[in-house]
Structure 1
Amino acid sequence: MSTAPSKGTVVPETVPASSLPPDTPSYDVVVVGFGIAGGCAALEAARTGARVLLLERAAVHGGTSSMSGGHFYLGAGTAVQQATGHEDSVEDMYEYLVAVSKEPEKDKIRVYCEESVAHFDWLETLGFTFERSYYPEKAVIQPGTEGLMFTGNEKVWPFKDAARPAPRGHKVPVAGDTEGTKMVMDLLRDRCEEAGVEVRYETGATRLVVDDAAVVDDAAHGVGSGPRVVGVAWKSFEQTGFVRAGGVVIAAGGFVMNPDMVAEHTPALAQNLFTLGSTYDDGLGIRLGQSVGAELKHMDEPFITAPVYPPSQLLTGIIVNQAGERFVAEDSYHSRTSQFVMEQPGSAAYLIVDSEHVEYPKFPLAPLIDGYETLEELESSLGLPSGAVAASLERYNDHAARGEDPDFHKGAEWLSPQGTGPWAVFDLRLGKAMYAGFTLGGMRVTVDGEVQRPDGSVVAGLYATGACASNLAQDGKGYCSGTQLGEGSFFGRRAGRAAAGRSFSA
């Protein structure tokens, strides 16, 4: 017996171009969504001379991009890296991103690395300058305006053996978690206005317009047989209408705010998590792509995290599961650690730190359970097997005293024996720690943002970028802070120029 799809997973029907009124307005490029990806797509398209319309469902620009911490993942020798004495190369950046990506699309990673410095320079032309300074501590985000820090697993095994580590998290020079990205989005809005982009707020695309009479079949250029996308249907409050377009760029965000899509693709995000997204991260952009045959990739990959640092001193401790055993290198990037926690029985884990190394975070996402005078008391209170934590600590302490960690290869700078009681225990259990997450999957696209079908052919006239597209394809364990803003802005630019019919040059 077949069942109807849930409301949140319904794929919109397309609109035949032949049904449009003769006075339907026409644009060279229509961009759907004014986050970092959509804004960069619209700006680059307009700068080629294209007539561009940008539709945004919210009353203001920014989208989920404005909620981010302000990191752009960039490297290969940027001005900030050079000024702070950090050597990096295209090859090191490339090898690292390949190592942390799930089913890496090497052509995209290659061009992202090769043009990273030029993209860094382009970002600064928006009207700001990354501070030429480095923050050396392990943190989720710099507390000040420092322009560079490590924001991934570059120094974590096995990735540190795959490529020479280098910091690539470039932060906008504004203190605070979100103010820097808001500043960038304001500057992007200003540049779009100067370039002549027409922006309509509180207006969302609802369906794609296709021209069945213009069936395209150009195998030589990777275009499969099928109708061309030639516009969109839109809705603003009670008003509706259509626009024609030479190219449509979907940059409408992910699907973390759509319970039905989350349940279908990333059920872990429905388990007592704080969702990182705007109201309109409901997957509509992805479903618009599905309406014309787009293939979806990595839809089951979430980003999930509950950082146990800062203070970074806590990483000298050990993280154990319900069996009292270690299962991850504690110096891993916070999302990597959290993903390993999710895989433990009951999604349960505890961070244990002795009295010589414990520091108490001001705003703990992993709350303190208690301090225990003896390991026996700790095990009994937490319901862990008798002697399990004691055995794990004994092995860890013995190797840490020699600067070694043969089990998980934690970096030497974080190895310190935890042998002095009392021991503090921080709660990493799902439902106790403050876990947050968002989605990573989306439409399959080419390096220029052309939406692809399962056979690899492209849907003529349709492009996708940002959180509704699958580009660098990092999984949750390999994600680097700054990837969303970095790849969203970079591939957004490429999609905008491609939709305008122009080749891209960084």
Structure 2
Amino acid sequence: MEIFPHCPVAHHFGGNASMKLEPGSELWYSNVEAPECISDLDGAQWDAEADFVVVGYGGAGISAALQAAENGLQVLAVDAFAGGGATAMNGGIFYAGGGTAVQRKAGVVDSPDDMFRYLSLEVADVVRPATLRRFCDGSVADLEWLAGHGVRFDSTYYPKKTFYPPAGYFLYHSDSSLAETCAAVAAPAARGHKYWHPPASQPTGFGVHLTDPLRQRGAQLGVRFWARTEARNLIVSASGEVVGVRVVRMPEDSVHTTAYIDAQEKARALLQKLPSSMPGFARLERKAQAYWQKARALQQQHGVVQRIKARRGVCLSAGGFIWNQQMVSAYAPKYVSNMAMGSPGGDNGSGIRLGQSVGGEAALMNRVSSWRFINPPTQWPKGVLVNMQGQRFVNEELYGASIGHEMNEYHQGKGYIILDRTLYRGAWKTAVLENLFPFMRLPLVLALLFQTRKGRTIEALAKKIGMPPAALQETVNRYNHAAEGGQRDDFGKSRSECQALRSGPFYAIDVSASSKFFPCSAMTVGGLRIDEDTGEVLREDRTPIRGLYAAGRTAIGLPSNLYVSGLSAADCVFSGRRAAQHASNANADAAVRLVEM
């Protein structure tokens, strides 16, 4: 076997060539190493092999592994942690429509056409219309596939607009489809399918009700899973085809591995105790860093290097890079102050870097989905959200990702909700009396207590928060005129969501991205370009890298423009299954190519 640590294909990168982006370079910000190039495949030595190797065992990776196993492939999956990824940690929403069994049982009417028309507004041009159409047409089947493998859903329907349904509700409007501007394009329907779970009050972790059943089913079908195994580099043939992956694996049943796991999990737990914007997080971060360093030292001393042969391909499904602050600062500096939503330590960009190391093109790396949720309370969207110039910039009733995108991209991450006395008092009633999860109630109360300024008049309020008084007064005047029927709202907000701000005193609530007590969460949505029909990673010239696939947030996908709740999980299943289906047919495709030649 002949191995060249700096194979020529490792230098074919997308993006700005002047950045000299390559493994080991100053701007690489990753442990991913240059690929190994094997000139003699027949004489190569391997520690393990499988038909299909999955790197990153979260929602996309588990879906890819299970689908491949169903198709009869031998599958080996690796994960730097215990598996599950960001999907297991999230709120447990799956975006589906077109007439699912859950929708029908709840009496919700929907069609693939309406789902497609609505999502065309959110997805825009990040995927081809044909890809979006395939996703919408297959949504019912994707949900049935999940249910067939043990994922449970419930049809208890919450018809009002909210970013997360109250306890006991499992089907809701997890997007902006109820807004008049969207309803004019497509009939709205509840498409947020929450996985059934026993009563609980924690803010995250419902996603295990998807990942656990799928993982159990995969194990029954023979999927091998190596936990605490970090992929360091890809292995390619002389022609540039990906034929395997090199990993560092912590040995099973070792006291050193037990200490390694303990250090990793303590670091992750510390980083999840508080939102990153809150006072005290910096101290937790320093403590977590000490545990990360301990884990790295244990891995360096006791980790075992192994090479895995992939006969049908490698699927990169290791998440995004929101927890890699160096990469966020380099690609999306506007979002450094946002609260990272993802797997601490896991969403570090390694999947993207692995793809780039063999010539894959990464794009939309500046795209971050930031979620400025302002409902609940239902009273906040009835006020106006303004920038530091006292001007409105968005329809306040839209889904939080639309609001966060406008605020962070075009208004320096600054935003204040302006309310009058009636709406302000109503917000307090909601915070105290309504059926809210604790993770929703606490930030709301803290914002009302500590991030609210009060003024007897609009002019006095503007002066207190450093806005031009005349501009804020003009904004409120125009809004009041529309709310009272004098004109159409400037941003198309539904009449039912408009309420004139007349009764002083007036209030301004700071909901900026840097808000200390009202976090604005974010996740990266850029990644590797892929062939949307096969899931194969593409080079800058749009030719596919044979043997290499990407899925979930490692790749550009459906949520890479504007996110709605559950769309990332749905895209993980969609893209993971797509990669597995193509890999399962790889031999047939190769035979066809030979015949055509």
- Is this a same-fold pair by TM over 0.5? yes
Could you say what the CA RMSD is over the residues aligned between the two structures, in angstroms?
2.2
CA offsets, 1:381-431, max 9 Å, x none?
Answer: 112222332222222112212285331110122111121112222102332
Cα distance in structure 1, aligned partners of 2:418 and 2:502: 11
1:136-155 map, 5 Å: 136-155=159-178
Cα distance in structure 1, aligned partners of 2:560 and 2:233: 30
Name the residue aligned to 2:443.
364
Contact 1:325-1:388 at 8 Å conserved across structures = yes
**One-letter code aligned to 2:208:** K
Name the residue aligned to 2:576.
492
Of 56, 61, 72, 1:33 maps to: 56
TM-score (norm. length: structure 1): 0.91
Of Structure 1 and Structure 2, which has the larger fraction of its residues in strand? 1
Q: Does 1:111 pair with 2:134?
A: yes
Name the residue aligned to 2:230.
204
Cα distance in structure 1, aligned partners of 2:321 and 2:411: 27
Cα distance in structure 2, aligned partners of 1:492 and 1:70: 18
Name the residue aligned to 1:222.
none
Name the residue aligned to 1:230.
243
Name the residue aligned to 1:172.
195
Name the residue aligned to 1:389.
472
1:18-167 map, 5 Å: 18=39, 21-58=44-81, 60-103=82-125, 104-156=127-179, 158-167=181-190
More contact order relative to length (CA 8 Å, sep ≥ 6): 1
Cα distance in structure 2, aligned partners of 1:75 and 1:353: 35
Q: Does 1:407 pair with 2:490?
A: yes
Q: Does 1:442 pair with 2:549?
A: no
Cα distance in structure 2, aligned partners of 1:413 and 1:269: 33
Residue 7 of structure 1: how far off its partner (Å):
4.4
**One-letter code aligned to 1:25:** A
Cα distance in structure 1, aligned partners of 2:542 and 2:196: 41
Name the residue aligned to 2:507.
424
Cα distance in structure 1, aligned partners of 2:413 and 2:495: 28
Classify the secondary structure of the residue corresponding to 1:135: strand
> Aligned in 2, Cα 1:371/1:195: closer, same or farther, shift over 3 Å?
same
Determine what percentage of the aligned residue pairs are the same residue.
Answer: 33
Classify the secondary structure of the residue corresponding to 1:180: coil
**One-letter code aligned to 2:215:** R
Contact 2:29-2:326 at 8 Å conserved across structures = yes
Cα distance in structure 1, aligned partners of 2:184 and 2:50: 50
Cα distance in structure 1, aligned partners of 2:194 and 2:211: 14
Name the residue aligned to 1:379.
462
Classify the secondary structure of the residue corresponding to 1:370: strand
Cα distance in structure 1, aligned partners of 2:351 and 2:98: 32
Cα distance in structure 2, aligned partners of 1:372 and 1:126: 56
> Aligned in 2, Cα 1:267/1:129: closer, same or farther, shift over 3 Å?
same
* Larger deviation, residues 356-365 vs 406-415: 356-365
Of 394, 397, 421, 1:331 maps to: 397
1:456-475 map, 5 Å: 456-475=542-561
Cα distance in structure 2, aligned partners of 1:453 and 1:397: 53
Contact 1:39-1:188 at 8 Å conserved across structures = yes
Residue 458 of structure 1: how far off its partner (Å):
1.1
Contact 1:403-1:415 at 8 Å conserved across structures = no
Cα distance in structure 1, aligned partners of 2:19 and 2:166: 53
Cα distance in structure 1, aligned partners of 2:174 and 2:147: 20
* Larger deviation, residues 465-474 vs 365-374: 365-374
Contact 2:32-2:233 at 8 Å conserved across structures = no
Classify the secondary structure of the residue corresponding to 2:321: coil
Cα distance in structure 1, aligned partners of 2:332 and 2:162: 27
Of 294, 306, 318, 2:372 maps to: 306
CA offsets, 1:265-324, max 9 Å, x none?
Answer: 211221x22111211211111111112211223211101123222111221111122222
Residue 91 of structure 1: how far off its partner (Å):
1.4
Cα distance in structure 2, aligned partners of 1:23 and 1:268: 44
Contact 1:9-1:260 at 8 Å conserved across structures = no
Q: Does 1:241 pair with 2:326?
A: no
Cα distance in structure 1, aligned partners of 2:120 and 2:411: 30
Of Structure 1 and Structure 2, which has the larger fraction of its residues in helix? 2
Cα distance in structure 2, aligned partners of 1:242 and 1:113: 39
* Larger deviation, residues 251-260 vs 494-503: 494-503
Classify the secondary structure of the residue corresponding to 1:398: helix
Residue 9 of structure 1: how far off its partner (Å):
5.4
> Aligned in 2, Cα 1:23/1:78: closer, same or farther, shift over 3 Å?
closer
CA offsets, 1:19-70, max 9 Å, x none?
Answer: 7753543211111111011001111111111111010110x22111112111
Residue 344 of structure 1: how far off its partner (Å):
4.7
Count of residues in Structure 1 that have an aligned counterpart in Structure 2: 487
Unaligned stretches of 5+ residues in structure 1: 216-226
Of 323, 329, 332, 1:263 maps to: 329
Cα distance in structure 2, aligned partners of 1:102 and 1:473: 10
CA offsets, 1:161-214, max 9 Å, x none?
Answer: 3322222111112255434211221112211110110111111211111111xx
Cα distance in structure 2, aligned partners of 1:143 and 1:386: 38
Cα distance in structure 2, aligned partners of 1:377 and 1:410: 27
Contact 1:208-1:231 at 8 Å conserved across structures = yes
Cα distance in structure 2, aligned partners of 1:77 and 1:2: 48
CA offsets, 1:101-158, max 9 Å, x none?
Answer: 2423222211111110011111111213311121123222112232211112223354
Name the residue aligned to 1:220.
none
Cα distance in structure 2, aligned partners of 1:2 and 1:332: 38
Contact 1:80-1:147 at 8 Å conserved across structures = no
> Aligned in 2, Cα 1:23/1:245: closer, same or farther, shift over 3 Å?
closer
Q: Does 1:317 pair with 2:383?
A: yes
> Aligned in 2, Cα 1:130/1:294: closer, same or farther, shift over 3 Å?
same
* Larger deviation, residues 194-203 vs 156-165: 156-165
